[in-house]
Amino acid sequence: MTPAQALMEEAQPIHPAPTSFWRRYVFSIDHKMIAKQFLWAGLLFLLVGGALAMLIRWQWGFPYRPVPLVGRLLFGESGVIGPATYQQIFTTHGLVMIFFAVTPVLIGTFGNLLIPLMIGARDMAFPRLNMYSFWTFLLSQLLVLASFFAPLGSAGAGWTTYTPLSTNVGMPGMGQTLVVAAIFVTGVSSTMGAVNYITTVIRLRAPGMTYMRLPLTIWGLWLTAILNALFVPVLGSAALLLLLDRSFGTEFFVAGASAVRGGGDPILWQHLFWIFGHPEVYIMILPAWGILGDVLSFFARKPHHWYRGTVWAMVLVTVLSAMVYGHHMFMTGMSPLLGEGFMLFTLLISIPSMVVVVNWVLTLWQGSLRYDTPMLFALGTVFVFGVGGLTGLFLGDISMDLYLHDTMFVVGHFHFTMAAASVMGAFTGIYFWFPKMFGRRLGERLGKIHFWFTFLGLTLVFGGQLLAGYAGQERRLFDPFQYTFIQGLRGLNRWTSYFAFALFTGQLFFVVNFFRGVFGRRAAPAGPNPWHVTTLEWTATSSPPPFHNFDRIPEVVRGPHELSNPEVRRLTGRDFAGQAELLPGDGAAAVAARKG
Amino acid sequence: MAQREERGREPAPGLVRDLTRYRRRPHGAERTAYVGMAVFLGSWAMLFVALFFAYAFLRARAPSWPPLDAPPLPRLLPGLNTLVIAASSAAVVRATRSQELRRPRGVTAALAAAVVLGAIFLLVQGVVWSGLWRQGLVPAGGPYPSVFYAFTAFHALHVVVGLAALAWLAVRARAGGESLRTDVRLWGWYWHFVGVVWGVLYLTVYLA
Q: Would you say A436 and A374 are in contact if contact means Cβ atoms under 8 Å apart?
A: no
Write out the DSSP string of A426-490. Answer: HHHHHHHHHHHHHSBPPPHHHHHHHHHHHHHHHHHHHHHHHHHHHTTPBTT-S-GGGSGGGGGGH
- pLDDT band for position A457 (cuts 50, 70, 90): very high
Instruction: Find the helix or strand (DSSP H, E) in which B196 lies.
Output: helix B180-201
Counting residues of chain A whose pLDDT is more than 90, the rounded percentage is: 84
- Residues of chain A with C-beta less than 8 angstroms from the C-beta of B39: 194-195, 198-199, 229
Which among A452, A453, A534, A461 is positioned nearest to A499, based on CA atoms? A461
Closest-CA distance of chain A to residue B105, Å: 30
* Cα separation, A71 vs A91, whole angstroms: 19
Task: Provide the pLDDT for residue B65.
Answer: 85
| A11, A252, A259: residue with CB nearest B143 | A252
Mutation for B interface: A195, A201, A270, A553, most B CBs within 10 A: A195
DSSP SS3 for A255: coil
* Cα separation, B57 vs B27, whole angstroms: 45
Mean pLDDT in residue range A242-250: 92
Task: Provide the pLDDT for residue B67.
Answer: 85
* Cα separation, A52 vs A87, whole angstroms: 11
**Can you give the pLDDT of all 208 residues of chain B as single tens digits?**
444 444 445 545 555 555 555 556 667 788 999 999 999 999 999 999 999 999 999 999 888 888 888 888 999 999 999 999 999 999 999 999 988 888 888 999 999 999 999 999 999 999 999 999 999 898 888 889 999 999 999 999 999 999 999 999 999 888 876 678 889 999 999 999 999 999 999 999 999 8
In A464-595, where do the E strands start and end? none
Sequence letter at residue A160: T
**pLDDT tens-digit readout, A374-430:** 999 999 999 999 999 999 999 999 999 999 999 999 999 999 999 999 999 999 999
Closest-CA distance of chain B to residue A119, Å: 16
Residue of A nearest to B144 (CA): A261
The answer on pLDDT for A587 being more than 80 is no
- Residues of chain A with C-beta less than 8 angstroms from the C-beta of B61: 262, 265
* Cα separation, A203 vs A12, whole angstroms: 11
Task: Provide the pLDDT for residue A77.
Answer: 87
CA separation, residue B115 to residues A329, B94, B198 (Å): 46, 13, 16
Task: Share the mean pLDDT of chain A.
Answer: 93
Closest-CA distance of chain A to residue B53, Å: 9
The answer on pLDDT for A584 being more than 90 is no
Q: Do A244 and B48 touch (CB under 8 A)?
A: no
Mean pLDDT in residue range A442-454: 96
**pLDDT tens-digit readout, A20-36:** 999 989 999 999 999 99
Q: Do A3 and B141 touch (CB under 8 A)?
A: no
| Total beta-carbon pairs less than 8 A apart between chain A and chain B | 142
| A199, A238, A271: residue with CB nearest B35 | A199
Residue of B nearest to A4 (CA): B4
Helix axes B28-61, A216-248, angle to 10 degrees: 50
- pLDDT band for position A260 (cuts 50, 70, 90): low
CA end-to-end span of chain B, whole Å? Answer: 47
- Residues of chain B with C-beta less than 8 angstroms from the C-beta of A4: 4
Contacts of A176 (CB under 8 A, 6+ apart): A147, A154, A155, A156, A157, A166, A246
**Sign of the CA dihedral A540, A541, A543, A545?**
negative
- Residues of chain B with C-beta less than 8 angstroms from the C-beta of A244: 139, 146, 150
Which range has the worst mean pLDDT, A80-94, A404-418, A536-550, B21-35?
Answer: B21-35
Closest-CA distance of chain B to residue A268, Å: 7
Q: Do B39 and A229 touch (CB under 8 A)?
A: yes
Task: Give per-residue burial for A231-244: e unless 16+ CB within 10 Å, then b.
Answer: bbbbbbbbbbbbbb
Closest-CA distance of chain A to residue B57, Å: 7
Closest-CA distance of chain B to residue A217, Å: 21
Residues constituting chain B: 208
CA atoms within 13 A on the CB side of A346: 26
CB atoms within 10 A of CB A224: 31
Write out the DSSP string of A339-363. Answer: HHHHHHHHHHHHHHHHHHHHHHHHH
- Residues of chain B with C-beta less than 8 angstroms from the C-beta of A329: none
Give the CA dihedral A436, A437, A438, A442, nearest 10 degrees.
-70
Please write down the long-range contacts of A47-51, taking CB distance under 8 Å and 24 or more positions apart.
A47/A507, A48/A96, A48/A101, A49/A93, A49/A96, A49/A97, A49/A100, A49/A101, A50/A504, A50/A507, A51/A504
Sort A101 into a burial class: Cβ within 10 Å, 0-12 / 13-18 / 19+. Answer: buried
CB atoms within 10 A of CB A564: 15
Task: Provide the pLDDT for residue A472.
Answer: 93
Contacts of A579 (CB under 8 A, 6+ apart): A209, A213, A534, A535, A536, A539, A540, A554, A556, A557, A558, A559, A560, A562
Q: Would you say A349 and A395 are in contact if contact means Cβ atoms under 8 Å apart?
A: no
CA end-to-end span of chain A, whole Å? Answer: 13
| B3, B32, B36: residue with CB nearest A7 | B3
Task: Provide the pLDDT for residue A591.
Answer: 57
**Sign of the CA dihedral A73, A79, A82, A87?**
positive
